[in-house]
Amino acid sequence: MFKKAIVRKPSKSMVKGLTTAKLGSPDFNLALIQHQKYIEALIECGLDVTILDADEHFPDSTFVEDTAILTPNCAIITNPGALSRKGEVLAIEKAVSGFYQNIEKIVDKGTVDGGDIMMVDKHFYIGRSERTNREGAKQLTEILEKYELTASTVTLEKMLHLKSGLSYLENNNLVITDEFVERSDFKKFNKLIVNESEVYAANCVWINDQVLIATGYPKTKQIIEKAGYKTIELDMSEYRKLDGGLSCLSLRF
């Protein structure tokens, strides 16, 4: 059960954000509207939302998920893998310290992006990606173990982040696609497999038995609803242009 969320408004500089998507640059005004709708959906799911101001220095700073891992026992401030994103953590640490007493940090040479971390009850799957390196995964595992949480690593072959292709919906239900479908790491789950034509929709967000999904992916919507969840569709067109998905836009705890 989540009670709170932290989000950060997109900055005008988002048009210069990191991307591999080749979908053109985002329209800032439309992105703002989509962000507002996202916040409204979080509120509709019962969350108390802290909204941080935009920071023009950091084009990708609206993707707050990458800057922290919020567990029931501690908060871990990450050291993002992309150079241009490292400074984002300062404002996040400040915001998080209003809610957590136990704050830990990933430090150089370790890098971790929160998008690579999937929480399943007390276990954390850590994606080893271009953003999360071996040293980062090691530091994170040690921190989690200190707080009686467990971790295992999954090496990514092509996706940006672990949660680009996986979303845990509680009750053993795992939305899964592409390179992860056949992995033995996820054998024990009830897999809700996202069709190749809808890979982007595999990044969705469970909040207290409702699921936020991206607009425009009818097959995935149907699979998730068939599994018993109410869905809320959100247009993510402008964030998709920056490789960003629904989960990236908030920290939920």
Q: Which residues bind ligand CIR (CB under 6 A)?
A: 17-19, 60, 63, 65-66, 82, 85, 115, 161, 164, 242-245, 248
Closest contact distance (angstroms) between CB of 226 and ligand CIR is: 26
**φ/ψ of residue 241, rounded to 5:** -60, -20
User: What number of other Cβ atoms are within 10 A of residue 28's Cβ?
Assistant: 15
Q: Tell me which residue has its CB nearest to ligand CIR.
A: 115
Catalytic residue among 35, 45, 204, 248: 248
DSSP β-bridge partners for residue 106: none
Closest contact distance (angstroms) between CB of 115 and ligand CIR is: 2
Output the six-digit token pair for 220.
């995935």
DSSP label at 3?
-
Closest contact distance (angstroms) between CB of 77 and ligand CIR is: 15
Catalytic residue among 35, 45, 161, 204: 161
Closest contact distance (angstroms) between CB of 66 and ligand CIR is: 5
Output the six-digit token pair for 121.
């009850």
Q: Which is nearer to ligand CIR, 79 or 164 (CB)?
A: 164
Q: Is 161 part of the annotated catalytic residue set?
A: yes
Q: Is 123 part of the annotated catalytic residue set?
A: no
Closest contact distance (angstroms) between CB of 34 and ligand CIR is: 15
Query: CB-based burial of residue 199 (10 Å sphere; 0-12 exposed, 13-18 middle, 19+ buried)?
Result: middle
Containing 126, the helix (H) or strand (E) segment is strand 123-128
The stretches of the chain forming alpha helices (DSSP H) are 28-44, 89-96, 134-146, 218-226, 237-240
Residue with tokens 């069709």: 195
Q: Which is nearer to ligand CIR, 63 or 217 (CB)?
A: 63
Cβ atoms of 104 and 77 closer than 8 Å = yes
My answer on whether omega of the bond before 109 falls inside 30° of 0, hence cis, is: yes
Q: What share of the chain is helix, strand, coil (3-state, %, to 5)?
A: 35, 25, 40
Query: β-strands 4-8, 251-252: how paired?
Result: antiparallel
Catalytically active residues, by annotation: 161, 248
